[in-house]
Structure 1
Amino acid sequence: MTALASTAPHPSVRTSMSGDGRPPSHRPSMALEVIGLSKSFGHHRVLEAIDLRVREGSVHALLGENGAGKSTLVKCIVGQHRPDQGAILLHDHEHLIQGPRDAHALGIGMVYQHFTLAPNLSVLENLVLPRNDLPLRLHWPAERLRLQAMLAQMPFTTDLDAPVSSLTVGEKQKVEILKQLCLGRQILILDEPTSVLTPTEADEVLRTLRQLARDQRLTVIMITHKMREVFTYCDEVTVLRAGHALPTRAIDSVDVATLSRDMIGDRTVTEARTRAAMPSAAARLRIRGLQADNARGLPALRGIDLSVSPGEILGVAGVSGNGQKQLVEVLSGQSRATAGTILVDDAPYTARRAEMMRHRFHCLPEEPLRNACVPDMSVAENLAFRDFDRPAMTWGGFLLRPRRIAQWARDRIHRFGIRAPSPRAPIASLSGGNVQRVVLAREVTEDVAILVAANPCFGLDFASVAQIHARLVEARNRGAAVLLVSEDLDELLQLSDRIVVMFDGQIVHACSAADADRHEIGQRMVGQ
C-alpha cells in the first residue's frame, strides 16, 4: 500500500498545528501542500519527491518545459492520476484523493486549455448539470434563482439563457470559471487559461481571478508559458524541471532570466536575432479577393487582400475560428479557394508541390503531427519529405538511398536540437516540442523564400519557443517573406514588421508593429 493511501499521516508531513489545534502564528495559512509526491508510468519516472506549498488567497504560477511534469502533478492533485507515494494536504489536513469526485468534494476544480462546456445547451444547463448532488428531478425556476443570487456576488456575469454555441471564446472561458465557482471550488487550477483569449479578455479574466484571491474567496494555481501574465498577476512561482520541483519564489524576487535558467538548467537558449533593416521591395506573395469555405461548406474567407515582401514578417492576429485556419490551408494546398487570386513573384500560384518547390514555398502548419507528418513513419523519413526525390537522396532518381537520408537526418537532428532516440524512431513517439522541431528543421531551410507559420509555438515551453522565434527571424533576415498566423499577440508584437487583424473571414485592421496598440487590436479581434 502506498503512503498516500494510508490513513496515518505521511512520514514527511510536518507538525503543523500547535498544542491548542491552531496553526502556528509564524506560518502562513496553506490552502494546498504536496509533500514527497512521486509518480511513474512504467519504468519512466515523471515526478520525483515533489514538494509544493500554495498559500491561501494567492495566485501561484507553475512553470516548466514540456515534459517537466506540470500536467502530471496537477492531475494527481485533481484525482486523474494516483501518485505512487506522497501526501496531499488541504488546510493542514491530509486527504486521500482517489478520483475527480474526491477532489471536487474537497473544493478543488480545474479549467482546462480546451473547453468542457456542452455547446448545444444553455449557460444555465451547463452550470447546473455538473453538480454531484443533482436530484432525480430538477426544479429549473429554483435553480435559476439560486444561480442568479450567486452570480450577483461574482465580479462578472453571463446570460443564463444563451446557448453556449453563441458565446464568444472569452465568454466561454468566463463560463468555465463561473462553473467552478458555482460548484463551490476554493482551489482552482488553470491550464494555459488565456491561450484562446484576446489580450483584453485575458487581462479581464486574470484580473478577476486575482481579485477573488485577494478577497480570500479563491486560491489559484496557473500553468502558463506567458511571462507577462506571471509577472503581472501571480504572487509566487514554482518551476518544475525534469520531474523535480525547485524552491518556490516570490514573484518580486525573480526576473525572466532567472526563471528561464530555472526551467532549462545549464542548456543554452537560442536567442532571437535582431531584425535586420531590410530594403523595401516588391511583394513576393500577393493575395487578392481570396474566398474559401470551411469544412461545413460555409464561407470562411470573405475577400482577403494582403501582401508580404522579402525580408518581412507579416503577423496575422485573430481569435480562433475567424478564417485563419482556412487561409493557411489554401496556401499550403490542403483546401481550395472558391474565388480570388494568389500570386508568387507575380506568377499564379495554386499550391501544387511542383509550384511550392519552384517558388521555395514552405509551411509550418498548426498541429504538425496531424497536418505535416506521418505519425508511423520515422523521424528521418518525415525530415526527408521535401527532398526524398532529389538526386542527392536517390539512385538514378528512382531508388532511395537510406544511408544518405539517415546521415542527412542526423545532421538536422543535431543542428535543431531534436531529442529523438534515433533517426529510425517513429515521429509519433516524440514530444510535441520535438515534433515541431522536426518540421522546423524540414521547412525553415537556408533557401526558403516564402514561409507560412501557423501558431508555431502553441503549447510549447520557453526553450522551444525561443528556438522557433530565432529561426523565424533568421529566415526573415535572409530575405524570406514570412506570414505568421498566431493567436498570441505578444508573439506577433515581438516578431512582426506589420500586423493585420482577421475577423469573420476579413481583414479588419492593419498597422505597423511599431505603431500597434494592444487594446485596439484586441477590440478589432472581437469585431469592435
Structure 2
Amino acid sequence: MLRRHRSRQPRCRHQDGEDAGRRVRLGLRQRQIRRGAAMRVPPLQQEAPSRAIGVETIGMTMRFGSFTALKDVSIRVAAGSFHVLLGENGAGKSTLVKCMMGFYRPTSGQMAVEGREVEVPDPRAAHDLGLGMVYQHFTLAPSLTAAENLVISRNDAPARIDWERERAALSAFMSTMPFAVPLDVPVGRLAAGGKQKLELLKQLYLGRRFLILDEPTSVLTPAEADELLGMVRGLTTSGELTCLMISHKFREVTAFADEVSVLRRGEHVGGGKVSDLSTADMAALMIGEKELVRPAARMAIDGKPVLTMSGATASDRSGLKTIDIADLQVKSGEIVGIAGISGNGQMELMEMLSGQRPLSAGRIRVGDAPFRATRSEVRALNVRFLPEEPLRNACAPKMSVAENIFFRDFDVVAGTSKFWLEGRRMASLAARLVGEYNVKTASLDTPISSLSGGNVQRAVLARELNGEVDLLLIANPCFGLDFSAVADIRARIMAARNAGAAVLLISEDLDEILELSDRILVMSEGSIVFETQAAGADIGEIGKHMAGHH
C-alpha cells in the first residue's frame, strides 16, 4: 500500500508547545477512558443496548487535504441528556456527526461509548453500538406502510415475511412507546409530523439508544415540532434515550435541551447548561467577534397594490392537483409572507409568478399591466426574483461572479439593445456590488459555483436589488445559510421594503415569516386558506392551518 507523503512545514516553538500540551491532555484522557473500560465499564455487548448511552469525542480532527474541517474537538454527551450542537454553516457540525456515525474516518482523535474507546469504521459499526441518526429529509419508502418500513429496515429482515408474527411483535414494541403512528397507512399519506415520528420510531425499533437529530423540525409546523421534541425530551428524561440535535432554532434549544456545545470554524469554542446561557450568549459563541446586521425599523407605508393574482390556476408538479390562487395582493412597502409546509404548492406559486409554469386560468397583474414574466416585462415593471436554490435557478454556475452579476444588464445600455459585452462596465458594476453586499470571493473572475451558499445568495441579491425595484419575489432566501448571512439578507429585504418595494416572501421557516412579514398568508393543498396580520399573530392558529385543519 502506498503511503501519502506529508511534507513538513516550519514550526515555531509556541506551536510545538501547544501541540505537545494537546498530546499530553489527549493521552491522559485516553488512559482515563481505557482505565474506566478495564475497571468500571463492562464490555459493550453485541446486542442493542436497552437504556440511554453516553458518547464522547476526544480530540476529533478531520482534514480534507489542506482544509481542516474539525480541529481537536472534544465534547461529552451524557447518557440520558438532550444535547444540542450549535454553529454556523461550515462550523463543522455535519463533519463531526459524520465522524461519529462512521461516514468519515477522522484524521485523528477518538470516540468513547459508555466510557470505553471504540472504533467506528462505518455506519453499521455505529448502529451495532446503539448509535442512530434521523436526517433532515425523510428516508422512508412512501408507497409502503409504516409497518413495512419498520420491518424491512432490519438487517435480519427475512426474505419471506411472516406478517402475523411481525404484527404481533410490532404491537408489543408499540405498547412500550410513549407515542404511536398508524402502522397500516402508506407513509405517503402521513402528515410531515407523522413521518418524522415514524423516523424516530424506526431508530428506537432498531435498538438505537443514542440519536443524532439533524434539524428534525425543518419541515414541521410549530405544534408538530413541539410534539416531536417533547417526545424526545420525555425519552431522555426517562433514561431510555440520549439525544444530540443539530439546530439553528434558539426557541427549541431553550425549551427542550439540557446542554449545548458550540462549534466555530471547526473548533469547539464553548457551551454548557442551557439554564446558564442566554440566546445572546449562544449567538455570541457562534459568530465570535462579528457583529450581526440588524434590520432597519419597519416604516409605516400606505402603498398601492403592485402584485395582483385573480383566479389564477395551474397544475402542480404531479399533474394530478391544481394550484388555485383565488385572490392575492401585495402592496408597495409591504412584505406578504406565504407560510406552509413543503409540498403544498409554494414552489409552483413561485413558478407561476416567474413564468415557468403556465396558467390554465386567471391572471397576474403588476400595477395596471398584465404580467407573463417576459424579459421585457420584468425590466419595464421593475420586477426582481430571488428563487430557491439560486445557484441552480438564478445563476450560470461555471460563469464568473462578474458575469452572473451582469446578467440583467448585459444586453442593454442607455435603454437601447446591443449584442456585445462591455467588459469595463461589467467589472465596474460587479466590483461595486461585491463590495456593497460583502460578497466573499477570491476575485470577480471566480466561477460563482465556488462560492459558499451565503455568498451566492448575496451575489444574486446584489444583482436583483440593483436599481429601482417595484416588486421583489423571494422563495426560501435563507435556507441552509449561516447565522450572519441570514441576518444580512433579512436586513436587505427589509431595506427594500422600506424603500417602497412590494415583497412576496415564500418561506418554510415560520420564524422568518414572523420576523419579516407585515401580513401572513397560509398555503395548504395548493390554495391560500388563512390570512392574518403579522403583528400579534397567533402561532398556534397559523400552525393549525399549515397542518390542513381549517
TM-score normalised according to structure 1 size: 0.93
Quote the Cα distance in structure 2 between the aligned partners of 1:258 and 1:323: 38
Give the 5 Å matches for 1:145-224: 145-224=168-247
Residue in 2 aligned with 1:365? 387
**Which 10-residue stretch deviates more, 129-138 or 109-118?**
129-138
Distance change in 2, residues 1:422/1:392 (3 Å): farther
Give the aligned residue type for 2:316. N
Residue in 2 aligned with 1:228? 251
Residue in 2 aligned with 1:5? none
Partner of 2:94, secondary structure, is: helix
Residue in 1 aligned with 2:347? 325
310, 318, 323: which one aligns with 1:301? 323
Could you give the per-residue CA deviations for residues 420-454 of structure 1, whole angstroms, max 9, x where no partner exists? 22221112222222221221211233521101111
Quick check: 2:270–2:285 contact (8 Å CA) kept in 1?
Answer: no
Distance change in 2, residues 1:446/1:61 (3 Å): farther
Quote the Cα distance in structure 2 between the aligned partners of 1:233 and 1:414: 41
Quote the Cα distance in structure 1 between the aligned partners of 2:171 and 2:394: 47
- Percent identical pairs in the alignment equals 50
Quote the Cα distance in structure 1 between the aligned partners of 2:386 and 2:400: 19
Give the 5 Å matches for 1:28-177: 31-177=54-200
Quick check: 2:55–2:78 contact (8 Å CA) kept in 1?
Answer: yes
Offset of residue 199 of structure 1: 0.8
Residue in 2 aligned with 1:500? 521
**Which 10-residue stretch deviates more, 249-258 or 115-124?**
249-258
Quick check: 1:58–1:220 contact (8 Å CA) kept in 2?
Answer: yes
Quick check: 1:322–1:504 contact (8 Å CA) kept in 2?
Answer: yes
Quote the Cα distance in structure 2 between the aligned partners of 1:169 and 1:19: 42
Partner of 1:400, secondary structure, is: coil
Quote the Cα distance in structure 1 between the aligned partners of 2:31 and 2:117: 11
Residue in 1 aligned with 2:490? 469
Quick check: 2:382–2:471 contact (8 Å CA) kept in 1?
Answer: yes
Residue in 1 aligned with 2:455? 434
491, 496, 504: which one aligns with 2:512? 491
Offset of residue 262 of structure 1: 1.3
419, 425, 437: which one aligns with 1:398? 419
Quote the Cα distance in structure 1 between the aligned partners of 2:306 and 2:37: 76
Residue in 2 aligned with 1:422? 443
Quote the Cα distance in structure 1 between the aligned partners of 2:63 and 2:463: 34
Distance change in 2, residues 1:456/1:319 (3 Å): same
Quick check: 1:10–1:86 contact (8 Å CA) kept in 2?
Answer: no
Offset of residue 469 of structure 1: 1.0
Offset of residue 13 of structure 1: 2.0
Distance change in 2, residues 1:76/1:160 (3 Å): same
Residue in 2 aligned with 1:379? 401
Partner of 1:302, secondary structure, is: strand
Quote the Cα distance in structure 1 between the aligned partners of 2:394 and 2:67: 28
Distance change in 2, residues 1:20/1:67 (3 Å): closer
Partner of 1:184, secondary structure, is: coil
354, 368, 375: which one aligns with 1:346? 368
Offset of residue 406 of structure 1: 2.3
Partner of 2:39, secondary structure, is: coil
431, 434, 443: which one aligns with 2:464? 443
Quick check: 1:39–1:83 contact (8 Å CA) kept in 2?
Answer: yes
Give the aligned residue type for 2:517. S
221, 233, 244: which one aligns with 2:267? 244
Partner of 2:364, secondary structure, is: strand
Give the aligned residue type for 1:346. D
Residue in 2 aligned with 1:21? 39
Quick check: 1:12–1:36 contact (8 Å CA) kept in 2?
Answer: no
Provide runs of 4+ in structure 1 moved above 6 Å: none
Partner of 1:237, secondary structure, is: strand
Give the aligned residue type for 2:451. L
Offset of residue 392 of structure 1: 7.3
Distance change in 2, residues 1:407/1:121 (3 Å): same
Offset of residue 334 of structure 1: 1.6
Quick check: 1:446–1:475 contact (8 Å CA) kept in 2?
Answer: no
Root mean square deviation, CA, Å:
2.1
Quote the Cα distance in structure 2 between the aligned partners of 1:119 and 1:514: 38
Quote the Cα distance in structure 2 between the aligned partners of 1:188 and 1:139: 29
Offset of residue 234 of structure 1: 1.1
Could you give the per-residue CA deviations for residues 275-317 of structure 1, whole angstroms, max 9, x where no partner exists? 1111x23211111111011233233312431101111011111
Could you give the per-residue CA deviations for residues 466-508 of structure 1, whole angstroms, max 9, x where no partner exists? 1111111111100110111111111111111111111111111
Offset of residue 233 of structure 1: 1.2
Residue in 2 aligned with 1:267? 290
Could you give the per-residue CA deviations for residues 376-431 of structure 1, whole angstroms, max 9, x where no partner exists? 1111111111122232799x833212233123222222222222222211122222
Gapped runs of 5+ residues in structure 2?
5-25, 42-51
Quote the Cα distance in structure 1 between the aligned partners of 2:38 and 2:116: 15
366, 384, 388: which one aligns with 2:410? 388
Quote the Cα distance in structure 1 between the aligned partners of 2:234 and 2:534: 32
Partner of 2:434, secondary structure, is: helix
Quote the Cα distance in structure 2 between the aligned partners of 1:393 and 1:14: 74
Quick check: 1:393–1:404 contact (8 Å CA) kept in 2?
Answer: no
Distance change in 2, residues 1:255/1:207 (3 Å): same
Quote the Cα distance in structure 2 between the aligned partners of 1:300 and 1:471: 34
Residue in 2 aligned with 1:26? none
Task: Please say if 1:409 is aligned against 2:397.
Answer: no
Quote the Cα distance in structure 1 between the aligned partners of 2:196 and 2:285: 30
Aligned pair count? Answer: 515
Offset of residue 19 of structure 1: 11
